[in-house]
């Protein structure tokens, strides 16, 4: 009922908002093409061609810097490679229409060489590596004078015509620049609205949670940087032909790279249209200042950007797009309420008895320095079984989970998982565990805060459904089962802790796992939510999924578990039926101390 009501009230508002935004963006795009044609002035043409080039470069940058969250401060390296490849080949008689693809190819190879080692590490390595490579290419361009003209630069051979991208009039150049900008915007739109875009944003927001959802975080980032580098290089080729002259300082410029990033930051980093709006706002200011003040204004654009950036940071931290989204009807401001009468779907009656073994854990040992965190831990999980994993704080439960999901490699021992056809596999990475149907949640919830509830669950659903429509459908169905149906459009960050915990489980459930590892999903939630969570877990178990649940809420452990394992100081000290385990003196001693065990 709530679900339908929400949908009915929100749809017209949302549609109207979307229509207004689409109309506004179409007006901006039409203006970029029609204003210079209408005014028919050389300088105005130049400004609008420059807007197109910067908007396109910034949009390409945003695929890496925004979607993937990998700050590139030397992006001009790709632009410069495209520029030099295009001009050098044009001077050999090869059309820049071919040269731009050659430049794009080289740029992609360089991008992969720069990125691959950096994307495997955390920290600012990628930003530093792009700056380093920018400098390397600048020095190479200065050094190999016979090919590049060195510091004196290189003129293009003045062959005029579409084939050479060189024109006497400005209109054809505007048409090409506008077309390339549309290509970049279309690429950004397609990526953001496909599985790749969801994976990139998820990786940016919470890398561990993305890995647990089966995302190959290095591969998706490499795909993003390759597309971005190729587009930047193609723009470099066109811009070089437009300028008719290139030199290393201009083509491999750090300042230029920062300018590209700045447009996206000011317009709205990580949004599709932000870089365009940033360029539309800033390029005219800079170019008019340059035109009006001439040589006196050298460097003035840096001052202008500084002022605008300060204003943006102070008054609209999410850029122009952030400001515009605040003007939209406040759909996303609606908060999930604790009292919302939404329950998870009641569980199916009856259960399948625990079946064959699905996971075998043998002799797991793990040390952190001198600390022996897990000591010869071994057990078997059966199909359709709920295994409770309990133990005092610091017993090694989460470390064990990390080894059962590929996040940590054991020093000794092995984890085997039976695949869908019944063969035993030895997965090693989170991706391999996910591929075998092992899903996990995290003790500290890891929502993708920049995404809605629906999009969060879709990240899990993409594991089984490559198409957006199918993943959305699967996510909605999962959300309904988890009692999250009414909150699909809410930003994940606006959920209560109980809602976030359910979202965490929903994201994993959308992966349709065969084995579910739940790390304290009931910690910190109220009694109502605990009862809901117990029902939910039982209904999941009834569908044949095997569950290992780390839990401190004993009431839940007792009513849920088919079997309980007690871990203390990294060792299994008891295992069996819940009732017999909790009355075991060793377990009582581990939790409460010797006096209670003897009492
Ligand atoms: N990366 C690490 N480096 C060093 N020590 C670690 C690391 N991770 C965990 N530990 C230590 O290993 C021990 C076991 O930690 P773990 O988080 O697995 O326990 P736990 O049983 O899950 O505890 P809790 O119930 O409090 O979550 C603790 O003493 C912890 O401080």
Q: What is the 3-state secondary structure (H, E, C) of 400-469?
A: HHHHHCCCCCCCEEEEEEECCCCCEECCCCHHHHHHCCEEECCCCCCCCCCCEHHHHHHHHHCCCCCCHH
Instruction: Report the 10 Å Cβ neighbour count for 23.
Output: 10
410 lines ligand 1 (CB under 6 A): no
pLDDT in tens, 388-399: 999 988 999 999
Q: For residue 209, report the phi and psi dihedrals to the nearest 5 degrees.
A: -65, -35
288-314: buried (b, 16+ CB within 10 Å) or exposed (e) per residue? ebbeeeeeebeeebeeebeebeeebee
Going by their DSSP bridges, the two strands 424-425 and 371-382 should be labelled as unpaired
Does 347 have pLDDT greater than 90? no
pLDDT band, very low/low/confident/very high, at 79 (cuts 50, 70, 90): very high
The token pair that represents 297 in the structure block: 């204004």
Pairing of strands 546-550, 515-519: parallel
| CATH 3.40.50.300 domain locations along the chain | 357-598
Q: Is 399 touching ligand 1 by the criterion CB < 6 Å?
A: yes
Rounded to the nearest whole angstrom, what is the distance from the C-alpha of residue 432 to the centroid of ligand 1? 24
Q: Which residues of 526-543 are buried (b: 16+ CB within 10 A; e: fewer)?
A: eeebbbbbbbbbbbbbee
Q: How far is the CA of 396 from the centre of ligand 1 (A)?
A: 6
Alpha-helical runs (H) found in 482-577 = 497-509, 527-542, 554-560
Determine which of 290-304, 412-426, 536-550 has the lowest per-residue pLDDT on average. Answer: 290-304
Q: Which residues pair with 425 in a beta bridge?
A: 417
Summarised one tens digit per residue, pLDDT across range 127-147 is: 999 999 999 999 999 999 989
| pLDDT value of residue 1 | 37
Residue of minimum CA distance from atom 29 in ligand 1: 394
Closest residue by Cα to atom 31, ligand 1, is 394
Above 80 in pLDDT, residue 189?
yes
Mean pLDDT of 358-369: 95
CB 86 within 8 A of CB 208: no
Please identify which residue in the block is written with the tokens 């169905």.
477
Return the sign of the alpha-carbon dihedral for residues 587, 592, 593, 599.
negative
Q: Establish whether this prediction's ipTM goes over 0.90.
A: yes
Q: Decide whether any atom of ligand 1 lies within 6 Å of the 390 Cβ.
A: no
Higher per-residue pLDDT: 6 or 567: 567
Pairing between strand 546-550 and 154-155?
unpaired
Main-chain phi, psi angles of 174, to 5 degrees: -65, -40
Residue of minimum CA distance from atom 7 in ligand 1: 368
Q: Does residue 398 line the site of ligand 1, with CB under 6 A?
A: yes
357-598 is classed in which CATH architecture? 3-Layer(aba) Sandwich (3.40)
HSE on the CB side for 462, CA within 13 Å? 23
Q: Which atom of ligand 1 is nearest to the CA of 395?
A: 21
Whether the pLDDT of residue 424 is over 80: the answer is yes
pLDDT given for residue 403 in this prediction? 97
Residue nearest ligand 1's atom 9 by CA: 399
How many residues appear in the chain?
599
Q: How does pLDDT run across 475-523, given as a tens digit for each residue?
A: 999 999 888 989 999 999 888 888 898 899 999 999 999 999 999 988 8
Instruction: State the pLDDT at residue 341.
Output: 39
Percent of the chain residues past pLDDT 70, beyond the cut? 90
d(CA 52, CA 35): 13
Helices (H), 40-153: 42-62, 76-91, 96-119, 125-143, 145-148
Are 149 and 247 in contact, with CB atoms under 8 Å apart? yes
pLDDT averaged over the chain? 88
| Ligand 1 close to Cβ of residue 393 (< 6 A) | yes
> Ligand 1 within 6 A of 396 CB?
yes
The pLDDT value recorded for residue 329 is: 55
The residue whose CA is least distant from atom 25 of ligand 1 is: 393
Place of tokens 């056809």: 421
Higher pLDDT, 222 or 287: 222
User: Whose C-alpha lies nearest to ligand 1, atom 23?
Assistant: 394
Q: Whose CA is nearest to atom 13 of ligand 1?
A: 394
Report the distance separating Cα 448 and Cα 160, nearest Å.
51
Residue 65 CB less than 6 A away from ligand 1: no
pLDDT of residue 275: 96
Mutate to test the pocket of ligand 1, among 373, 393, 548, 549 (most ligand atoms within 8 A of CB): 373
Selection from 584, 588, 580 nearest residue 561 by Cα: 580
Beta-ladder partners of 365: 412
| Mean per-residue pLDDT, 210-228 | 96
DSSP 207-274: HHHHHHTT--HHHHHHHHHHHHHHHHHHHHHHHHHHHSEE-HHHHT-HHHHHHHHHHHHHH-TTSSSH
What is the DSSP code string of 38-63?
HH--HHHHHHHHHHHHHHHHHHHHHI
Would you state the structure tokens that stand for residue 328, as one six-digit string?
A: 């939209």
- What's the pLDDT score for residue 4? 36
- The CA-CA-CA angle for residues 460, 111, 164, to 5°, reads 120
- If one residue of 396, 401, 553, 568 were mutated to test the ligand 1 pocket, choosing by the most ligand atoms within 8 A of its CB, it would be 396
In 3D, which of 387, 366, 508, 385 has the Cα closest to residue 446?
508
Question: Are the CB atoms for 57 and 79 separated by under 8 Å?
Answer: yes
Lowest mean pLDDT among 11-25, 62-76, 187-201: 11-25
Return phi, psi of residue 216, to 5°.
Answer: -85, 95
Q: How confident is the model at residue 119 (pLDDT cuts 50, 70, 90)?
A: confident
Measured between alpha carbons, how far is residue 404 from residues 408, 434, 546, 569 in Å? Answer: 8, 11, 13, 18
What Rg value do the Cα atoms of the chain yield, rounded?
A: 29
């Amino acid at each position: 009922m709530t679900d339908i009501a929400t949908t009915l009230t929100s749809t017209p508002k949302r549609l109207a908002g979307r229509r207004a935004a689409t109309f506004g963006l179409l007006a901006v795009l039409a203006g970029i093409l029609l204003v210079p044609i209408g005014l028919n002035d050389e300088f105005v043409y130049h400004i609008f061609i420059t807007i197109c080039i910067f908007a396109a470069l910034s949009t390409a940058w945003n695929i890496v810097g925004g979607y993937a969250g990998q700050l590139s401060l030397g992006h001009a390296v790709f632009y410069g490679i495209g520029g030099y490849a295009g001009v050098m080949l044009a001077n050999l008689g090869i059309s820049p229409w071919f040269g731009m693809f050659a430049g794009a190819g080289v740029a992609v190879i360089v991008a992969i060489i720069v990125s691959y080692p950096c994307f495997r590490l955390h920290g600012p390595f990628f930003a530093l590596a792009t700056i380093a490579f920018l400098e390397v290419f600048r020095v190479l361009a200065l050094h190999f004078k016979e090919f590049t003209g060195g510091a004196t630069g290189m003129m293009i051979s003045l062959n005029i015509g579409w084939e050479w991208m060189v024109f006497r009039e400005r209109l054809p150049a505007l048409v090409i620049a506008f077309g390339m900008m549309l290509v970049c915007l279309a690429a950004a739109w397609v990526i953001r609205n496909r599985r790749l875009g969801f994976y990139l944003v998820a990786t940016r927001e919470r890398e561990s949670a993305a890995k647990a959802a089966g995302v190959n975080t290095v591969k998706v980032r490499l795909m993003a940087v390759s597309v971005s580098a190729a587009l930047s290089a193609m723009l470099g080729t066109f811009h070089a032909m437009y300028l008719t002259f290139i030199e290393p300082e201009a083509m491999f410029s750090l300042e230029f790279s920062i300018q590209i990033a700045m447009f996206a930051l000011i317009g709205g980093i990580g949004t599709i249209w932000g870089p365009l709006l940033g360029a539309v706002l800033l390029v005219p200011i800079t170019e008019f200042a340059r035109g009006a003040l001439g040589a006196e204004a050298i460097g003035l654009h840096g001052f202008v950007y500084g002022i605008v950036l300060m204003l943006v940071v102070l008054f609209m931290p999410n850029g122009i797009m952030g400001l515009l989204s605040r003007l939209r009807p406040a759909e996303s401001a609606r908060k999930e309420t604790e009292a919302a009468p939404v329950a998870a779907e009641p569980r199916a009656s009856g259960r399948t008895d625990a079946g064959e073994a699905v996971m075998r854990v043998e002799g797991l040992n793990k040390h952190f320095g001198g600390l022996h965190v897990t000591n010869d831990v071994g057990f078997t999980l059966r199909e359709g079984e709920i295994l409770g994993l309990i133990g005092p704080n610091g017993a090694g439960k989460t470390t064990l989970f990390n080894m059962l999901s590929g996040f940590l490699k054991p020093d000794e021992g092995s984890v085997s998982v039976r695949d869908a056809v019944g063969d035993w596999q030895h997965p090693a990475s989170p991706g391999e565990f996910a591929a075998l149907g092992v899903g996990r949640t995290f003790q500290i919830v890891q929502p993708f805060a920049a995404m809605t509830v629906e999009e969060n669950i879709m990240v899990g659903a993409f594991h089984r459904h490559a198409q957006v429509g199918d993943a959305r459908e699967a996510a909605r169905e999962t959300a309904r089962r988890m009692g999250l149906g009414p909150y699909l459009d809410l930003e994940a960050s606006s959920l209560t802790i109980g809602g976030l915990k359910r979202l965490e489980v929903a994201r994993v459930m959308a992966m349709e796992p065969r084995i579910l590892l739940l790390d304290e999903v009931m910690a910190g939630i109220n009694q109502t939510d605990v009862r809901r969570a117990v029902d939910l877990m039982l209904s999941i178990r009834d569908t044949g999924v095997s569950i290992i649940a780390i839990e401190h809420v004993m009431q839940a452990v007792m009513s849920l578990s088919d079997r309980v394992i007690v871990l203390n100081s990294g060792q299994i000290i008891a295992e069996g039926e819940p009732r017999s385990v909790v009355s075991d003196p060793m377990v009582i001693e581990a939790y409460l101390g010797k006096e209670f065990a003897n009492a």
